[in-house]
């Protein structure tokens, strides 16, 4: 049996992943904040975006390639940053970096990854991006930027939608701390997942290695109040300008949903805008990202990256139809890793690729730019 016959959709990988990782890890990966209404809204509103099929276009193979920030990619898809990836699956950061390098797509390493940029960058190929949670201390910020650049990361993602720590109640109930402390309760859960536990024995318990290298904080903290939160600040426009001054490569701002902010970022020197609501993990009372996307698109000429709620190739096409230039996924790739190890990440990409080809055939669209012409309704 092929992977496609056993796991034809990301939902199948998600179901297997849930069985193969401890419950407290699952709660960290899959949860949002509040009553998780925004997470649900992301999904529900994507389903409201309708595209009109078109007939009599003959046989063709759609061209899925696109260009972003001067780089051409075979797919309009990249790997979004996820904090503590190595908790979700041991060795995750390097696995995802290698997958991205093989597939010639962007890989984004988080500031709060379990591995250091200098250890992951060599695996990531030529499309290595680094996501920056803004340190309060400019000296720490500049040192992190240097380490990222020396590690091969040429694009910086400033995340701006985490001005304060969210409560993430479901994650907190799961019992995870930072660094992870294996209580009897968590050990019992881990013992039920031998592949995950064997991997952790080889790699060691994951830690926020980059942030810990700048801190002398001892002991454990709640997972939503870890050392990364203690060192970071809530950035303002002056912070953005200072970062723009010291970073000479592409600078993308992630967590944008307000068109006024997008317009100002355009004027202030951002290279691209990332429309995201952090997959519902930060604020439970906002609109779905697919609802804000057209408004942001109207406010800027910059490239737009999109995330939150994507579950298949059709969702990628929906985002492109409403103005996105590129789509990033985080959870989906980790479902793949937890389900199948490193081959699972590549399988996620193949699911998305095949789903896009199938749906573009129904739409009669030979290129990604044509998909917007099939947009029917967002109501």
Which residues have a catalytic role annotated? 278
Residue 308 has φ and ψ, to the nearest 5°, of 95, 105
CA distance 241 to 254: 15
Q: Half-sphere exposure of residue 5, counting CA atoms within 13 Å on the CB side?
A: 2
Whose CA is closest to 42, among 313, 283, 350? Answer: 283
Are the beta carbons of 92 and 113 closer than 8 angstroms? no
Whats the size of the chain, residue-wise?
Answer: 379
């Amino acid at each position: 049996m092929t992977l496609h016959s056993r796991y034809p959709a990301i939902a199948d990988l998600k179901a297997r992943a849930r069985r193969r990782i401890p419950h407290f890890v699952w709660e960290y990966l899959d949860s949002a904040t509040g009553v998780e209404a925004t997470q649900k809204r992301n999904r529900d509103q994507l389903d409201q975006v309708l595209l009109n099929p078109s007939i009599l276009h003959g046989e063709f193979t759609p061209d899925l390639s696109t260009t972003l920030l001067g780089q051409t990619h075979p797919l309009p898809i990249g790997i979004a940053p996820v904090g503590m990836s190595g908790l979700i699956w041991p060795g995750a950061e390097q696995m995802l970096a290698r997958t991205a390098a093989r597939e010639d797509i962007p890989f984004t390493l988080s500031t709060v990854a379990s591995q250091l940029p200098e250890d992951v960058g060599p695996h990531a190929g030529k499309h290595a991006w680094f996501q920056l949670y803004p340190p309060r201390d400019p000296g720490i910020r500049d040192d992190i930027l240097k380490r990222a650049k020396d590690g091969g990361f040429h694009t910086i993602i400033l995340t701006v939608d985490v001005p304060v720590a969210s409560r993430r109640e479901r994650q907190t109930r799961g019992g995870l701390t930072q660094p992870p402390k294996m209580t009897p309760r968590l050990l019992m859960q881990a013992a039920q997942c031998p592949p995950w536990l064997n991997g952790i024995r080889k790699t060691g318990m994951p830690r926020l290695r980059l942030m810990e290298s700048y801190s002398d904080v001892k002991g454990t903290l709640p997972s939503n109040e870890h050392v990364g939160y203690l060192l970071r600040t809530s950035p303002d426009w002056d912070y953005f300008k200072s970062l723009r001054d010291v970073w000479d490569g592409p600078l993308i701002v992630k967590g944008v949903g307000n068109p006024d902010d997008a317009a100002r970022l355009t004027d202030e020197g951002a290279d691209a805008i990332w429309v995201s609501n952090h997959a519902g993990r930060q604020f439970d009372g906002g609109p779905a990202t697919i609802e804000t996307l057209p408004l942001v698109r109207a406010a800027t000429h910059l490239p737009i990256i999109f995330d939150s709620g994507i579950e298949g190739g059709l969702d990628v096409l929906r985002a492109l139809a409403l103005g996105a230039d590129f789509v990033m996924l985080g959870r989906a790739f980790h479902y793949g890793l937890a389900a199948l190890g490193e081959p699972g990440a590549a399988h996620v990409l193949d699911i998305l690729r095949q789903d896009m080809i199938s749906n573009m055939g129904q739409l009669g669209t030979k290129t990604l730019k044509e998909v917007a012409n099939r947009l029917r309704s967002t109501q």
